Amino acid sequence: HGPCSPKHSGCEVWSELVCYSLVDFEILKQKTKKGMGLADANGQQRIRVIRGSSVYDVTEFADRHPGGREIIEKHNGQDVESVMQSALSHVHSKAAYSILERYSIVAEKPDANRKENGEYLKEVSDEVERREKYIKNDIVDWSKPLLGQVELLGEKYFDWTHQQVDWPIRLFESDLAEMLTKASWWFVPITWVPVVLFMIFSSYRHLSQTPEVWPENALGLQHGPLSMPFLFVIGLIVWTLLEYIIHRWLFHLKPPANNHFLIRLHFSLHGQHHKSPMDPKRLVFPPLPASFFAVPFYFLCTTMFPIGMAQVVFSGIVSGYMAYDLIHYYIHHGGQPFLSYFQRLKTYHTLHHYK
């Protein structure tokens, strides 16, 4: 086949660079449906899906798929058009289709020695090239940290954060700042379980030696170790209300377009997660920034309750936070949940990000 031109009517332009015949493309679709040719030159199994007239190599995306890798593998070699529109899973958003398009297979330009039956047809789905194409057309410079740029987006900022990417992002120029603002999921229990245990132990010691009265008025009751489970539950309830208020009225409040500080704050706290929802190192709250919130809340507890009671209430708040952060990570990276509650939660949360 010659280069694409009006007189070569059997060709279509792919990725604005290369083309191959419709016959070849039909061969590729049939091979994909039959599971043929689904291994690369190194023997690694590839995951391909079909949608309409396009074939997509979603191997690199499989582990980042919000619904879990298992669903992607289940539909390997299949047409996913009806699945993506089905309410049984969930109707995929424009953002989901946009991400899928970035994995469209690019066909190499056919050479003169290639067999006519398409046997030597070679497809490329290169993640680096895919990112470069997106980055080239984006309104920020992805070769630089995002903080320092997002503040300047103005009216475009909020919509831009909801045009998701599926790769990690960089916030700071400083490697130290980057390290301190990223965390693996296991940082959460390693950091905060000792804090919870210490607070419970200290509270037990206080209340065992000197039972405390609260509230400090005529309605006051004496509280000893037997009150600790009740106080712990109060802490869990406080966290639940606190998280709802913060998420609803801070994280999802659209910052004014002309306020650079509030845009930067919003992106640092939550906007970054909506821009790259599957970044595994930016899903849980890093310990150092989290401590800036934890310390004031501890002292707030001590102003509301005597020290022994305050410590067990605070341990309940921290435990609620740990459960929230770890469940959030599990919803994103735990695959397909086996409990129906978490299946519904995952579906709801996926819609939260991609609808």
273 assigned ligand-binding residue: yes
270 assigned ligand-binding residue: yes
353 assigned ligand-binding residue: yes
The residue with tokens 């509030």 is 262
Q: How far apart are CA 165 and CA 2, in angstroms?
A: 36
260 assigned ligand-binding residue: no
Q: How far apart are CA 54 and CA 107, in angstroms?
A: 11
Of 230, 241, 215, nearest to 303 (Cα)? 215
349 assigned ligand-binding residue: yes
352 assigned ligand-binding residue: yes
215: cis peptide before it, omega within 30°?
Answer: yes
Classify residue 248 by its DSSP letter: I
Neighbours of 36 (CB within 10 A): 12
90 assigned ligand-binding residue: no
247 assigned ligand-binding residue: yes
- Spatial neighbors of 46 by CB under 8 A, at least 6 apart, are 38, 39, 40, 57, 59, 125
266 assigned ligand-binding residue: no
Tokens of 227: 């009150």
- Give 191-199's long-range contacts (Cβ < 8 A, gap of 24+): 191/287, 191/290, 192/287, 192/318, 192/321, 192/322, 193/322, 195/294, 195/315, 195/318, 196/315, 196/318, 196/319, 196/322, 199/311, 199/312, 199/314, 199/315, 199/318
Q: Specify whether the CB–CB gap between 54 and 10 falls below 8 A.
A: no
Q: How far apart are CA 296 and CA 304, in angstroms?
A: 13
Residues in binding site: 65, 92, 247, 252, 270, 273-274, 328, 332, 349, 352-353
Residues in binding site for heme: 65, 92
Residues in binding site for Zn(2+): 247, 252, 270, 273-274, 328, 332, 349, 352-353
